[in-house]
Each structure stands twice: as structure tokens, then as C-alpha cells.
Amino acid sequence: MKRVLDFFKAQGTGMIFMIGLGTFLAILGPYDTSALGWPWVWLYWTGLMLLGGCSGDVALALLNRLAPNLPRWASYSLIAVMVAVPVTIAVISIQSVVGSLPPIHTWPVIYFFVLVISAGVVALTYLLERPGQAATELAVGRALTDKLPVRFRTADLIALQSEDHYLRVHTNRGDTLILMRLSDAIAAAEGLEGAQTHRSWWVARSAIDHAEKAGGRAELTLTNGITAPVSRSFYPDLRERGWI
């Protein structure tokens, strides 16, 4: 249960971002939605933003699986188009509940209006990810970075820690929990100088503050204050590299 709670906690930044956008749109009240009044207009827009955020995560996962080599701008463009579909269905459904079902010939128009908002949100997300993104992608592959919440994607990678079926990613901006195998994450981080120190740990060389060895066991203290264990099977290689 704790790991599940940690996973949802890690996604909190994205949820807050979407709620903030929803609040902004509720204040603006585009497309005559201000007529709903408060708090309904706020619930309307924040609900649609959260649905769009979840749909964007699903769309990103599909594109990573079906078209992993697409340029980032193309991926984001497709995500905007894909996200607009479920959100349009939600808008039509809400209108049919609070009023009457919109005529079918107006559905493409509704989709267009939703697409405008979707494209704006996706463009904003794209721009927020741009600082430092190119340098990060040279060292860490998109197979890993695309699974991270937005604020972690350009952070310095410190360590990878396997926790059952999940992976805790330690960065200089904190840590987050994602669904990924340690072996896949290590392959994605091959551009960084690092090494596996334990069957459940990988550490970046630049993140090591100091090493300690006592009682036949070794530990690496990292720059974020955590300690990574060094198992006996990996110890000789790390000692040869001069890490210990």
C-alpha cells in the first residue's frame, strides 16, 4: 500500500499543474462556461484538465510503445489530437446531462474547440520541458525520461533503486516512483558514467560523496544524503574503478 501511495504522490506535481490550469480557465470562462457559475465552472474545467492529463499519459505510453523514435514535437502534436477525443466525449456527455444532447453535426465543432485548449496545454508542457532537455536526452534516453513527472525530466540523475515492480528514481530535485524495470532504466542511462552496485541499485559516478567499508560490507553515500549498498559481487569491479 505504501508503494502505491508513493506512486500517486509522485504524480502530484502533474495533478497540481492541471488543477492550476483548470482554475485559470474557470476564471476566464471561455466558450460561455462562466454561465455555469461557481463552483460548477471550476469543477467543469478542473475535471476536464485532469481527464486530459490522464489521457495524455495514456497517449504518451502508446506512442512510446508504437512509435518510440518519433521526434518530440511530433509526439506532442499527436498527443494533443489524441487527448482531445476523450475530452470531447466528456464535454458532450456533460452537456447532455445538464441540458440536451448536442446535434451530431456540432460534434466536430466541439472537438475543434477542445483541440484548441488541448494544443495550448500540450504546447505549454513542451515549453516547460525544453530548458536543459537536449543535454539530458544525450545522457538519459527517453525510455526513462518520458516516464518521469515533468519537473524531474531535466534533473540530474543520482541513482536508481528497484522496489519490487517499481523503480525509485533519485535526482537532485528529489525522488519519484515509476513503473519500470531496473535493467531497462540502466540501459536508458548508458550515456551517464555510472554502475550497478547491488542487484537493486545503480548509482551515477558524479553523485558519490564518499564510500565506507566496514564489517565486510561497503556503502556509497550520495550527494542527496542517501546511502547505496554495495554487494560483494559488484565490489571488486567498483574497487578496480577507484569508486571505493
pTM score, whole prediction? 0.51
In whole angstroms, give the CA distance from residue 244 to residue 235: 8
Region 27-55: mean pLDDT is: 85
Q: What is the pLDDT of residue 137?
A: 46
Amino acid identity for residue 168 in this structure:
R
Distance CA 47, CA 200 (A): 38
Burial 205-226 (b: 16+ CB within 10 A, else e): eebbeebeeeeeebbbebebeb
Does residue 39 have a cis bond before it (omega within 30 degrees)? yes
For residue 33, what is its C-alpha cell? 462556461
Residue boundaries of the structural domains of the chain: 2-130, 156-241
d(CA 203, CA 48): 40
Question: Which DSSP string do the residues of 18-55 spell out, in sequence order?
Answer: HHHHHHHHHHH-GGGGGGG-TTHHHHHHHHHHHHHHHH
Burial class (CB in 10 A: 0-12, 13-18, 19+), 57: middle
Beta bridge partners of 171: 157, 174
pLDDT band, residue 68 (cuts 50/70/90):
low
Q: Tell me how many degrees the CA angle 167-171-173 measures, rounded to the nearest 5.
A: 125
pLDDT at 101 over 80: yes
Which CATH superfamily includes the segment(s) 156-241? LytTr DNA-binding domain (2.40.50.1020)
Q: pLDDT of 115-172, one tens digit each?
A: 998 888 888 777 765 544 444 444 566 778 778 877 777 788 889 999 888 899 998 8
Question: In which element (H, E) is residue 196 found?
Answer: strand 194-198
The residue among 11 and 120 whose pLDDT is bigger is: 120
Question: Of 14-28, 136-150, 214-228, which gets the smallest average pLDDT?
Answer: 136-150
